[in-house]
Amino acid sequence: MSRKQMLALAGAVTFVCLLTVFGVTLAQSRPLDLATVTNSLGVSLAPFAAGLNQPVAIAFTRAPGDTRMFVVERAGIIRIVQADGTLLPKPFLDISSTVDWQPYEEMGLLGLAFDPNYAANGDFYVYYTGPRPAGGDNLQLSRFHVSADPNVAEPTETSLLTIVHPDSVSHNGGELQFGPDGYLYVGIGDGGIKGDPANNAQHQDRLLGKLLRLDVSGVPTYTIPLSNPYVTIPNSRGEIWAMGLRNPWRFSFDRATGDLYIADVGNESWEEVDFQPASSHGKENYGWPCYEAFAQTNHSGCLPRSAFVFPIAAYSHNGSAAAVIGGYVYRGSQYPSLYGYYYYADHENGTFWAMSACTRQVASLGRLANDPSTFGEGVGGQLYVASFSDGVIYKLVGPTGPLPPPLQTPYYLPVIQNGSLCK
């Protein structure tokens, strides 16, 4: 047996062991050294702020010198946490009378993003579920503006986009992120009905089950970037950037590379993390409802397998996991051993994982928090996570000291070309 064959066999054996120990599946289409990252990373959570009511999103203005954390409470309130962890008593914004948030967790005020030019224009964007007269819900994207008091927003709302949602409860999406290109990215769920029987996520003329890319700068609502992939395709919505998503509850950009990580909440069996490189021109199709992670469903009328982009990581429910909560790649300097890993968790069982942004090696970090609902990235790259039921914000911490030696992987094909970051 040749050395290459021996390495391939060793990689296959390691892959099977990983499935058994961690319930993790890595992308099967590329040869990787699948030795796990050990928990020598030393990741733990330290309480940072408390007293919140069902926190579901964390955001920062990124304005120079602004260290405040903004926390979204599902009932329709945005709170401010100061740099020392103190929770200000007065809300930054209260639209609880507008938001439809009872009784299910997936409803409510779900997303918040500050304009990249917030220091000059004071604009920020929210995403929520709002009732409609005929029953059910609409998905609402709106703009608000800060008042003369930097800790209080003006109550005036500008509606940018309203999407009729077939089911008033589930799969609303909700993440808002400004990308490195300055455009606003919006995650939209598939419509909420089990299995997406209407095939919303695969229809180019519908916004459900998609990742949208909008230009919200200098206009009353938004314009569609001419570089969006469906702009010139007949019978398609130009807002669409990527498709085939079930419930992209949380996604994030790697601040060092511009790569995009999408945690798409699964159906009955699998949770997945999808990936879009910074060099992408959009148009990725992540497979739902034809595939749940790598598993083909019984959905009819699907494109061939080659038409879809499959996850870089996935894990099975195994009787306890149920909803992936996407995080960020740690690019801070305080905890060197955490550097270069993408952190994510499961809402149902509180398990956390770390995945190398270079090698895609994955390690289970164990159960660290009760029902984590969202991650946040601070101005210095520090990472935070919210516990939904406890109303606590935690900070991800690790051992201090010098950066450990890079992982040695004798046999893998790099997926990300990040210059010196992955050498």
pLDDT of residue 25: 35
**DSSP percent split of the chain into helix, strand, coil, nearest 5:** 10, 35, 55
Instruction: Report residue 42's pLDDT band, with 50, 70 and 90 as the boundaries.
Output: confident
Q: How many Å apart are CA 78 and CA 97, to the nearest integer? A: 13
The CATH architecture one would assign to domain 3-422 is 6 Propeller (2.120)
**Share of residues in the chain with pLDDT > 90 (%):** 74
Pick the more confident residue, 146 or 333: 146
Percent of the chain residues past pLDDT 70, beyond the cut: 85
Q: Does the pLDDT at position 343 exceed 80?
A: yes
Mean pLDDT is lowest, of 31-45, 196-210, 214-228, 318-332, for 31-45
- The residues near 236 (Cβ < 8 Å, ≥ 6 apart) are 204, 205, 230
pLDDT at residue 64, as a whole number: 94
| Sign, Cα dihedral of 135, 137, 140, 144 | positive
Higher model confidence: residue 359 or residue 103? 359
What is the arrangement of strands in the sheet containing 77-81, beginning at the earlier edge strand?
55-59, 69-73, 77-81, 93-94
For residue 226, pLDDT over 90 is answered with yes
267 and 293 in contact (C-beta within 8 Å)? no
Q: What pLDDT, on the 0 to 100 scale, is given for residue 132? A: 83
Hey, what's the torsion of the CAs at 239, 241, 243, 248, to 10 degrees? -90
Over residues 246-250, the mean pLDDT reads 98
The mean pLDDT value for 41-59 works out to 95
HSE, side-chain direction, 13 A CA sphere, residue 340: 21
pLDDT of 2 strictly over 60: no
Q: What are phi and psi of 143, to 5 degrees?
A: -110, 140
How far, in Å, are 37, 105, 139, 303 from residue 130 at the CA level? 43, 14, 6, 34
E strand map for 156-259: 158-165, 176-178, 184-187, 210-214, 240-243, 250-253
As given in the structure block, the two tokens for residue 199 are 């095939």
Is the predicted pLDDT of residue 27 greater than 80, yes or no? no
pLDDT of residue 401: 67
